[in-house]
């Protein structure tokens, strides 16, 4: 049996989250991918480990249509997978609903074909569950799986498919991409957060040049929000946003537990703090004891090199 | 609070402020006596029990008077005291005080129960609701509502006011809860009670109130070490002879241990940190052996009144009464305040019921008379000289006096010792105090402050006015910093206050969101410059059952 | 138009959940429970739609133990008109919840279902989508704004990288995201009124739905504690490590 992975393209390129989903799915065996929309089929064919690309170029980006398309072909598969992006999280549970299956979302580890680990309670606990369903419908967290690489060796065949099924009446109006050059906190690949060590709201701007260099989102500790240095929507932590970027840079924040709860799943953590005893160092992969007012300009310069 | 706000009114026979043992007992007694009376109880915690911190070994006496069938009703008093120890500690050893039950019969705990007072209050809350009391958790009494020189209820806090004090999109104005009688049971240093005591001059002619700060942790320990009903108290190390303080450790429930430490807030050394004292005592072999191999589940703190009999204010005033620790009914030598709080609440309710029987406004004056002829009076009167003896002569002589007072005079000595000053006056300037070097937390038995506060479930809606203010901000640097080196950054058990250096000068950072509502800052600030206002309802700690 | 709002009773978001010593789950004994915050947003949105004249009645539904009733009362204090408790002691998965909800919705016949995008206990983010599938209704998930006109609902959705707009024929299922609104406080008079609003209790096992779990919980553990890494001595060394060792920049 085979796994079907719903992938997404951005322009002609396949999204990195989707490449991670393919890599995760390869644990089960052969992988077919399903791509919706006009672009990206060529690159999809080059994903390592993909045996077939199903390309529905005229299907709208609507959960109703995509889920129906997948459910229609589900009997060919024992696993249906996507990345746990807003796109995947919108579509796959609907697929599960159509198939009378309990989906397993936000998977961070695959134990075997039926057994998966997923975080619950905002990551305060990890739950291992074994599915009794014949078809497993999963979304996987891309931060926990390496991306599949692209290869020119033997592109997989691309098969055009179309939807013939009747779907509920929904209309795709459009998407307004966020104009800010800065990504959103929860989906950013890199997050740089400031704490009270920045001393005032004006100094928060010191994070921006570094964030620009890294394409990072900017976050703040609760203490910094509390002190009025940053707006609440920037708060990372138990009571704010939970983030798990590839790289998390904590600047001038001590690392209160409530903050750690919001960022400890980041892949790589960097801490910059004056106080060598700050708890943030106990979770940091790379710690730099120093004055952030000196470190930030240096960091910007080094990154520019 | 702005006076321009149009406020809705609701009217009740009785409004009770605070859902602790005193308030809930008063509510229950009222409805038992007057099933038709409308009784409204407001509680600033997110639910009944959310702000309750206590040891607690409780004496079931008052409960049995409130509900003679409390056992059949399933009251959560499940762990009877089975074994009791009182230890005098030196740095390395503990000396058990023998025959404590003979020496100080008031201290003996035979027949008492180890409980989670939060759980008891939740149960009392359910009983009260069943009797028709209307309970509103998440609503803070922000202001007394005074009309014609009489307390006529309270005004609940505005909700949805932003940090700048402006009305936010979900603004909901506080309401006037009008009442014929108002029962104040806010616990120690209640903000309405404080104002009412001042307004009606209720403390005239009584000793100043003196306080302690109790800091508590609940642990889960390995089943093989658990001895349900084991009760241990200690005094001595790590406190010096001039500083009042002691610890408790109780085994209860399912593999749970309640550990805590009370620091007398009349301490003089500005370098003292009640939190650090509480942490380091756990490393003493007599305590460590119980906790090792366990995990810490809950953390919390609350001030308690220690003054007892001499410090009780006038109990009734036009339109209302004070009960529980709002008045100061805790029995310090017994280290118990629940049965006294409950009894005072019941007596207050009986007096209020009588007053409601009269036409028109009247004062529930029979409360004082009822108190004087109750066992509560006798108990507090007999205990009255113990705590002041410690304050006057230190721990060793104080303890000796306590023994004599109890053994020879049975509490009926022909004199009464007095408290000479308030707790905030006791603090000495930093240059006259010996700094204390506290050990670093080890992360298994002892912990830092932030990870501790995290276990209190404390939260306040971020976008609201800071509820802790300096009445005169310019006083902080010359007084709190220059003279006392910021004692608030040490006595606050929640890390609310931090002295920070900024541009080579010091300033006070107030992290109001961390506040666990213990009221210590309101008590101990050397110039009484910290104003503890009630934050938005439902803010503060969220102590679970077990606390 | 009638709106059905399903709500869930969960461990309050201020409480740090504790894994049980036997690793069978998270300890919810004696812990403060509240309405799932995303569901509060759903109730608020339904009330706003009624205030705008787009809805006439709001029915809140919860599925769970008898102690879940206060959550319905809270929703009614916020403005819902009546409540339904589908009572069961079983621990239900989103699929089972959706199936039970479908029975209630078939009976109530609403024009719109508004619900939280996920519950903060199991963090599944699935019930709304499953429900929409089983009803064969369109879905507008992760809504940051909604508008009803001419029998359709326009939903602006929090999508990857921006805001996506869909227009759905009613009836439809909408799931709420954080930015949709800021829920109102339940005031004391409204809490009092809510106590008198109708609340119907239906035993889940009378609805003829298979609610047997599809997932077996093998274990629930606390996440591994992150280990401290190394200290670097300069910015240059830090950037070098990030580039060559961690390969994140």
- Residue positions counted in chain A: 305
Position A179 scores a pLDDT of 60
Select the more confidently predicted residue: B362 or B516. Answer: B516
| Summary mean pLDDT of chain C | 95
Say how far apart CA C149 and CA C153 lie, in whole Å.
Answer: 6
> Are B462 and A225 inside 8 Å of each other by CB?
yes
How many percent of chain B have pLDDT more than 70?
A: 98
The candidate with the shortest Cα–Cα distance to B517, out of B448, B449, B460, B450, is: B460
How many angstroms separate the CA atoms of B183 and B39, rounded? 10
Angle in degrees, CA C229, C235, C238, rounded to 5: 35
Q: How far is CA B324 from CA B48, B198, B304, B359, B383, in A?
A: 16, 18, 11, 27, 17
Q: Quick one: pLDDT at residue B102?
A: 67
pLDDT for position B103:
66
pLDDT for res B258: 98
What confidence category does residue B436 fall into, taking pLDDT thresholds of 50, 70 and 90?
very high
Per-residue pLDDT, averaged over B72-76, amounts to: 97
* For residue C150, pLDDT beyond 50: yes
User: Looking at the complex, does the CB of residue B90 fall below 8 Å from at least one CB of chain A?
Assistant: no
Q: Which residue is it, tokens 């105090």?
A: B433
Structure tokens at C168: 């759905």
Is-catalytic flag, B521?
yes
Rounded mean pLDDT of C186-203?
Answer: 96
Mean pLDDT of chain B: 94
Indicate if the pLDDT at residue B215 is higher than 80: yes
Which is more confidently placed, B399 or B337? Answer: B337
Q: Chain A contact for C210, CB < 8 A?
A: no
Cα–Cα dist C93/C97, whole Å = 6
The interaxial angle of helices A86-99 and C127-135, nearest 10 deg, is 50
Do A232 and B463 count as a contact with CB atoms less than 8 A apart?
yes
Per-residue tokens: A103: 């989906």
Token pair for residue B342? 């409950």
How far is the alpha carbon of C29 from chain A, nearest alpha carbon, in Å? 16
Q: What is the per-residue pLDDT for C132?
A: 98
- How crowded is residue B512: how many other Cβ atoms within 10 Å of its Cβ? 20
Judge contact between B437 and B430, C-beta under 8 A: no
Q: What Rg do the C-alpha atoms of chain C give, in angstroms?
A: 21
Helix, strand, or coil (residue A230): coil
> B1: pLDDT confidence band, cut at 50, 70 and 90?
very low
Residue C64 has a pLDDT of 97
Q: For residues B75-96, give the mean pLDDT.
A: 92
Catalytic site includes residue B61: no
DSSP for A51-112 reads EEEEEETTS-S-HHHHHHHHHHHGGGEEEEEEESSHHHHHHHHHHHHHHT---EEEE-EEEE
Burial category of B149 from C-beta neighbours within 10 Å (exposed 0-12, middle 13-18, buried 19 and up)? exposed
- How many residues comprise chain C? 249
Show the tokens assigned to B277: 């004292």
Per-range mean pLDDT, top range of A188-197, B446-455, C79-88: C79-88
Q: In angstroms, what separates the C-alpha of A50 from chain C's closest C-alpha?
A: 24
8 A C-beta contact, residue A99 and residue A71: yes
Q: Is B8 in Cβ contact with C192 (below 8 Å)?
A: no
Closest CA to B259 of B452, B391, B464: B452
Pair of tokens at residue A199: 């001393």
Active site residue B518: yes
> For chain C, percent helix, then strand, then coil, each to nearest 5?
30, 35, 35
Helix (H, G, I), strand (E, B) or coil at C15: coil
Nearest one of A228, A235, A168 to A203, comparing CA atoms: A228
B156: chain C residues, CB-CB within 8 Å: 188
Q: What is the DSSP string of C68-93?
A: GHHHHHHHHHHT--EEEEEE--S---
N-to-C CA span, chain B? 33
The structural domains of chain A, ordered by start, are: 2-160 (3.40.50.620), 185-304 (3.40.50.1220)
Of A137-141, A215-219, A275-279, B130-134, the poorest mean pLDDT is in: A275-279
Give the pLDDT score at A122: 82
- Best of B462, B535, B541 to mutate (most A CBs within 10 Å, chain A): B462
Over 60: is that where the pLDDT of B3 sits?
no
Residue A137 pairs in a beta bridge with: A80
Domains contained in chain B, CATH given:
9-69+119-206+313-382 (3.50.50.60), 79-115+209-307 (3.30.9.90), 423-439+447-532 (3.30.70.20)
Which residues of chain B neighbour A262 with C-beta distances below 8 Å? none
Residue B429 has pLDDT above 80, yes or no: yes
Judge: C14–B46 Cβ closer than 8 Å, yes or no. Answer: yes
Contacts of B39 (CB under 8 A, 6+ apart): B12, B13, B14, B16, B27, B30, B31, B132, B133, B134
Asked if B506 and B483 count as a contact pair (C-beta separation under 8 A), the reply is: no
Residue B2: is its pLDDT beyond 60? no
Q: What are the start-end ranges of the H helices in B3-141?
A: 21-33, 61-66, 100-103, 117-130
pLDDT for position B408: 82
Q: Which two tokens stand for residue B259?
A: 């550990």
The pLDDT of residue B49 is 97
Asked if B485 is an active-site residue, the reply is no
Lowest mean pLDDT among A232-241, B292-301, C127-136: A232-241
Task: Determine the Cα–Cα distance for residues B283 and B125; give it in Å rounded to an integer.
Answer: 37
List the strands of the sheet with B57-58, edge to edge: B57-58, B113-114, B79-80
**Stretch C26-55: mean pLDDT:** 95
> Which residues of A, range 203-232, sit inside 8 Å of C by Cβ?
214
- What is the average pLDDT across A34-60? 95
Q: Do B170 and C182 touch (CB under 8 A)?
A: yes
> Does the distance separating the beta carbons of B136 and C191 come in below 8 Å?
yes
* Cα B151–Cα B152–Cα B158 angle in degrees, nearest 5: 100
Pairing of strands C162-169, C152-159: antiparallel
Q: Identify the closest residue of chain A to C162 by CA–CA distance.
A: A177
| pLDDT for B301 beyond 70 | yes
The angle subtended at Cα A192 by Cα A191 and Cα A193, nearest 5°, is 115
Question: What domains can you pick out in chain C, each with its CATH number?
Answer: 2-245 (3.40.50.620)
pLDDT tens-digit series, residues B460-488:
887 899 999 999 999 999 999 999 999 99
pLDDT, one tens digit per residue, over B516-525 is 999 999 999 9
Q: Do B1 and B142 contact (CB within 8 A), yes or no? A: yes
């Amino acid at each position: 049996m085979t796994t079907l992975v719903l992938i997404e393209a951005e322009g002609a390129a396949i999204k990195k989250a989707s490449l991670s989903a393919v890599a995760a799915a390869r644990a089960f065996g052969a992988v077919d991918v399903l791509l919706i929309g006009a672009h990206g089929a060529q690159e999809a064919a080059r994903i390592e480990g993909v045996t077939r690309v199903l390309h529905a170029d005229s299907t709208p980006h609507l959960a109703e249509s995509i889920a129906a398309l997948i459910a229609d072909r589900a009997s060919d598969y024992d696993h249906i997978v996507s990345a746990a992006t807003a796109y995947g999280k919108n579509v796959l549970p609907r697929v599960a609903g159509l198939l009378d299956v309990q989906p397993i979302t936000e998977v961070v580890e695959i134990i075997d074909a039926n057994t998966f680990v997923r975080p619950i309670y905002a990551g305060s606990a990890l739950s291992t569950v074994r599915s009794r369903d014949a078809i497993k419908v999963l979304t996987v967290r891309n931060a926990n799986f390496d991306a599949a690489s692209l290869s020119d060796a033997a592109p997989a065949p691309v098969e055009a498919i179309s939807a013939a099924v009747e779907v509920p009446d929904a209309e795709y109006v459009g998407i307004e991409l966020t104009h800010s050059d800065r990504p959103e906190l929860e989906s950013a690949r890199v997050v740089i957060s400031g704490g009270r060590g920045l001393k005032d709201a004006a100094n928060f701007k010191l994070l921006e040049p570094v964030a620009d260099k890294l394409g990072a989102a900017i976050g703040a500790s609760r203490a910094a929000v509390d002190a009025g240095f940053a707006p609440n929507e920037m708060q990372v932590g138990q009571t704010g946003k939970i983030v798990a970027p590839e790289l998390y840079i904590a600047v001038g924040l001590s690392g209160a537990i409530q903050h750690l709860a919001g960022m400890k799943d980041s892949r790589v953590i960097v801490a910059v703090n004056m106080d060598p005893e700050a708890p943030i160092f106990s979770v940091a992969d790379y710690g730099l004891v120093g004055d952030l007012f000196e470190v930030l300009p240096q960091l910007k310069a080094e990154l520019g090199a | 609070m702005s006076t321009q706000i149009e406020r809705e009114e609701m009217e009740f026979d009785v409004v009770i402020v605070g859902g602790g043992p005193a308030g809930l007992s008063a509510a229950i007694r009222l409805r038992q006596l007057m099933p038709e009376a409308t009784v409204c109880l407001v509680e600033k915690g997110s639910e009944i029990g959310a702000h309750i911190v206590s040891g607690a070994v409780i004496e079931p006496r008052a409960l049995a008077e409130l509900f003679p069938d409390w056992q059949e009703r399933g009251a959560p008093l499940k762990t009877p005291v089975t074994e009791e120890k009182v230890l005098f500690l030196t740095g390395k050893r503990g000396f058990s005080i023998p025959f404590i039950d003979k020496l100080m019969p008031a201290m003996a705990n035979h027949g008492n129960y180890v409980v989670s007072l939060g759980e008891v209050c939740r149960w009392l809350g359910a009983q009260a609701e069943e009797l028709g009391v209307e309970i509103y958790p998440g609503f803070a009494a922000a202001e007394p509502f005074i009309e014609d020189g009489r307390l006529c209820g309270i005004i609940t806090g505005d909700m949805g006011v932003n940090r700048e004090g402006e009305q936010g999109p979900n603004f909901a104005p506080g309401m006037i809860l009008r009442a014929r009688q108002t029962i104040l049971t806010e616990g120690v240093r209640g903000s309405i009670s404080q104002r009412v005591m001042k307004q009606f001059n209720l403390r005239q002619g009584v000793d100043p109130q003196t306080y302690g700060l109790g800091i508590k942790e609940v642990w889960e320990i390995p089943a093989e070490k658990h001895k349900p009903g084991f009760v241990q108290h200690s005094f001595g190390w790590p406190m010096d002879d001039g500083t009042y303080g002691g610890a408790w450790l109780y085994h209860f429930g399912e593999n749970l241990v309640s550990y805590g430490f009370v620091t007398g807030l009349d301490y003089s050394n500005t370098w003292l940190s009640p939190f650090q004292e509480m942490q380091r005592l756990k490393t003493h072999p007599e305590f460590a052996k119980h906790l090792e191999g366990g995990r810490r589940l809950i953390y919390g703190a609350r001030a308690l009144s220690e003054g007892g009999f001499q410090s009780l204010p006038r109990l009734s005033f036009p339109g209302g009464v004070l009960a529980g620790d709002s008045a100061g009914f805790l029995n310090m030598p017994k280290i118990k305040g629940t049965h006294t709080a409950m009894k005072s609440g019941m007596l207050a309710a009986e007096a209020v019921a009588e007053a409601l029987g009269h036409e028109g406004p009247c004062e529930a004056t029979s409360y004082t008379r009822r108190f004087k002829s109750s066992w509560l009076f006798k108990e507090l009167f007999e205990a009255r000289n113990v705590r002041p003896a410690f304050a006057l002569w230190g721990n060793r002589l104080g303890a000796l006096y306590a023994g004599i007072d109890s053994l020879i005079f049975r509490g009926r000595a022909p004199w009464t010792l007095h408290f000479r000053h308030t707790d905030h006056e006791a603090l000495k300037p930093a240059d006259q105090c010996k700094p204390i070097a506290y050990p670093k937390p080890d992360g298994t038995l002892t912990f830092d402050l932030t990870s501790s506060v995290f276990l209190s479930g404390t939260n306040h809606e971020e976008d609201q006015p800071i509820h802790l203010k300096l009445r005169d901000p310019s006083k902080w640097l010359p007084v709190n910093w220059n003279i006392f080196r910021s004692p608030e950054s040490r006595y606050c058990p929640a890390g609310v206050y931090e002295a920070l250096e900024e541009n080579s000068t010091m300033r006070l950072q107030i992290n109001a969101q961390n506040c666990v509502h213990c009221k210590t800052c309101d008590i101990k600030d050397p110039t009484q410059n910290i104003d503890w206002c009630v934050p938005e309802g439902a803010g503060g700690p969220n102590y679970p059952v077990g606390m | 138009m009638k709106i059905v709002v399903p709500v869930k009773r969960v461990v309050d978001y201020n409480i740090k959940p504790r894994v049980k010593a036997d690793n069978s789950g998270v300890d919810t004994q004696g812990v403060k429970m509240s309405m799932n915050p995303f569901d509060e947003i759903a109730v608020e949105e339904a009330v706003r739609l009624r205030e705008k004249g787009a809805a006439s009645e709001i029915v809140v539904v919860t599925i769970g133990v008898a102690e879940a009733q206060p959550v319905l009362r809270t929703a009614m204090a916020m403005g819902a008109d009546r409540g339904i408790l589908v009572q069961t002691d079983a621990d239900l998965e989103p699929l089972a919840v959706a199936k039970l909800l479908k029975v209630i919705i078939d009976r109530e016949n609403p024009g719109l279902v508004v619900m939280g995008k996920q519950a903060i206990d199991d963090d599944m983010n699935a019930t709304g989508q499953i429900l929409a599938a089983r009803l064969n209704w369109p879905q507008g998930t992760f809504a940051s704004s909604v508008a009803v006109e001419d029998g359709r609902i326009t939903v602006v959705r929090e999508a990857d990288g921006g805001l996506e707009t869909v227009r759905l024929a009613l009836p439809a299922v909408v799931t709420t995201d954080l930015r949709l609104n800021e829920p109102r406080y339940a005031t004391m008079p409204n809490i009092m009124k809510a106590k008198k609003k109708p609340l119907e209790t239906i035993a889940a096992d009378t609805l003829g739905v298979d609610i047997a779990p599809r997932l077996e919980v093998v274990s629930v553990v606390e996440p591994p504690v992150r280990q401290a890494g190394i200290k670097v001595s300069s910015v240059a060394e830090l950037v070098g490590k990030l580039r060559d060792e961690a390969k994140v920049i």
